[in-house]
Amino acid sequence: MHALVTGATGFIGQALVAALLGREDRVRAVVRDTGRAARLPAEAGTIVADLGGPDVPPRLMEDIDVVFHLAAATRGPWPEHQRVTVQGTARLLAMARAAAVRRFVHVSSIVVHRVNGDGRVDEATPLLDPVADAGPYVRGKVEAERHAWQAARDGLEVTVVRPGLVHGPGKVVFEHLGTPLGPVLVGYGSSRQRLPLVSLASVVDALLALADAPQAAGQAYSVVDGHLPRARHLAVVNEAAAVRRRAIYLPIPLVALACRGARLAGADAPSVAKLRDRARDVHYDSAKLTAHTRWRPESDVEASLRRATRASDDGRLRVAVIGAGMNSVHHLQPLRRRRDVRLVGVVDVDIDRARAAANGCGLRDGAFRSIDALYSQCPPDVVHVVTPPPTHEPIVMELLQRGSHVLCEKPLALEPEACQRLAAAARARRLTLGVVHNLLFDERFMRMRQLIAAGRIGRVLHVETSWCFAPARAGRARQRERWLRELPGGLLEDIAPHPIYLTTALMDGTPRLTRARTHHTGLLPEPGDDLLHMSLETPRVNAHLTVALAIAPDEATISVFGSAATLTLDVQNMLLTMQRAGRGPRVVRRG
């Protein structure tokens, strides 16, 4: 499947892009903010476009099978919601219909409904009057839905998805629960109201299921998890967020008066109708979704909320580092400076080395000889694996089985099949598994991607990467790290991932390997290949990559050739330059 995802850097969008790539689908991600584009994986073909603006790239829908439309304004006055949510949706629907996409999955919200007299909300429940009953956000959602249904009547295959209150990593407190004010949670309405909670993982699973379900064409679906808690059960959320607050509920008439004043001032505030709904016990379910697909809701909301945060006692993530070698300092020191992280341990088979690393970052009694010892005293939420590559697979698998998120130094494993096993284990447990491709997030490389996404060099045609090491430096690296001899590809296998992931990040979509060749030059004293040539291509871009370990002097450059200009990044010195074709006589252009 080739999917287009709008709102790709949002809370749901990022998770959906990751899930699609995990299934090996092709993804084109649409974002409004060039600064946030670098948050997405390198494999996502990112396009910067404001769907509510006049300049939407005409190739947006090229070769797209399914559109997942999540983009919407979340704050601001009504004109902003009208431009981004309503006009953006209308324009995208028209483009999808013209391109004859197979399905358009429109993500709305469960808040668009007017509550029935029996207090039940399902797919047949009428929508709110967007002018009389809704604030700017809800009004935008309602009017965008109306455009979607009109497009369905005009022949586009549309599926509308209405998630409840989505919770996930870093998001467990909602407007329905009240506003946190120190030790007090100030809410309004009834403490008996059911909360239509749904986990981020459940929403992503529902979107993927509905993209392919034959019965979903022309249908709307509510997406909420099972056994929904009532608002008075604040202990669920408070415990998950590691916060203890007392709840105070304000009377509806008082809140209605304040909301009227806010709405007159142009702010987004609940309508009187929504306030009345807040005082009632409303029933939600996803029966239709379970009947039409294999999707099943989370049955234990409390466990889901706790998984979402995995917070420590003081609200910070507990993080441990396994491996106290030379590279561990690049993990320990940045983690030590983060206010939202609490380092809980350093693990190494050499306990003296573990103690030295722990003491170096101010962590007392935080050295452990084994993973068992770490988990018996202070189980971490996230673990950084900084051990030699041959040990990565068993360590990462054990950590995933223990329920921790993992960030592993590259390579993730020595064989592709092992990487696939680890990825499958992470998906099955709904855990995050990351690999340290650190150069992707260097500010110069991120700037390079931003310039490409903004169209500053025109259409990208070719990427040329050269990654060369002097023989003496390569020899020193081999002597310093004995584990390099255990890699099937030796030092070449250790170094090549950097230029490969940087090159593929600059291409449109997931590239196909068309040619690869390694060679032993004989210029190094060690046996094994020391020269790599690779050719990659996507439907629109091709690339050539060279990694050489016997060339002087050192060189690491990436050049992106476009139809209007060329970008070159000197990775060794982190210098980014752009060359444009000049105007005038040839001699002047050369100058």
Angle between helices 136-153 and 88-99 (to 10 degrees): 20
H helix runs in 362-480, sequence order = 371-377, 392-401, 416-428, 443-453, 471-480
23: exposed, middle or buried (Cβ count in 10 Å: 0-12, 13-18, 19+): exposed
Q: Cβ contacts of residue 542 below 8 Å, gap of 6+?
A: 461, 462, 463, 514, 535, 536
Token reading at 226: 């099972």
The span from the CA of 361 to the CA of 339, in Å, is 14
Bridge partners (DSSP) of residue 317 are 311, 341
Q: Tokens 């592993």 sit at which residue?
A: 408
Give the burial class of 479: count Cβ atoms within 10 A of its Cβ; 0-12 exposed, 13-18 middle, 19 or more buried. Answer: exposed
Question: Phi and psi at residue 430, in whole multiples of 5°?
Answer: 55, 45
Closest residue by Cα to residue 442 from 584, 569, 286: 569
Of 137, 221, 375, 501, catalytic: 137
Q: 12, 29 in Cβ contact below 8 A?
A: no
At 248 the three-state DSSP class reads: strand
Say how far apart CA 379 and CA 402 lie, in whole Å. Answer: 9
Question: What is the number of H-type helices and E-type strands within the chain?
Answer: 20, 27
Class of residue 374 by CB neighbours under 10 A (exposed 0-12, middle 13-18, buried 19+): buried
**In this structure, what DSSP letter does residue 338 have?**
-
Q: Which long-range contacts (CB under 8 A, 24 or more apart) does 273-278 make?
A: 273/114, 273/128, 273/132, 273/133, 274/111, 274/128, 274/133, 274/134, 274/135, 274/138, 275/188, 275/189, 276/252, 277/114, 277/115, 278/176, 278/188, 278/189, 278/190, 278/193, 278/252
375 flagged as catalytic: no
Q: Mind telling me the catalytic residues?
A: 137
